[in-house]
Amino acid sequence: MSGPGRSFALRVVRRQAGDAAIVYRRRLSEDGKERHARLAAIGPLAFSAGASLLRDAVRASEPGGRPVAATIAVGPYHPLDDDWGARVACYALVAAGLRDAGRLQRAAASLRHADGTEAAWWLGLMANGARKRAVRALRILTEAVE
């Protein structure tokens, strides 16, 4: 996952309830080595509701724009560029704990069309202590909740 603009990764995992995903962010450890730090999980319901967002993110982040299969491979890390990584991370945080598939689809569609810089701003808000309020605000803006 090295290279400029590859700060995020997505890994699909198979669970009993269905496929799920984990969003990682690249960080430097104290000894200066790059490590994947778990940022958020996407449960099976949110994974299926946001499948188009996740496929678009992996597809857009592929070197040379190589085509991606209809399903994202289970197991390996899929590097995401910074814009798509921020969108997917925001979706993961917004989707956490929600159970309405229709609203999760709306949130995924909103974030798929969101500006990457704006998504990074929201992700920064959620990471800097105002997580509960920022998640609630982004859920409302993406129509994930009423």
Q: What's the pLDDT tens digit per position in 13-39? A: 999 989 999 999 988 888 888 888 999
Alpha helices per DSSP H over 6-130: 44-49, 51-61, 82-95, 101-112, 116-127
Q: Which residue has 């996407």 as its token pair?
A: 42
Greatest Cα pair distance, the chain, in angstroms, is 45
* Report for 35-39, 90-94, 123-127: range of highest mean pLDDT: 90-94
Neighbours of 60 (CB within 10 A): 14
Q: How confident is the model at residue 2 (pLDDT cuts 50, 70, 90)?
A: very low
Contacts of 143 (CB under 8 A, 6+ apart): 103, 106, 107, 110
Closest CA to 117 of 138, 86, 78, 139: 86
Q: Are 105 and 39 in contact (CB under 8 A)?
A: no
CA 127/CA 122 separation, integer angstroms:
9
Instruction: Please give the model's pTM, rounded to 2 decimal places.
Output: 0.89
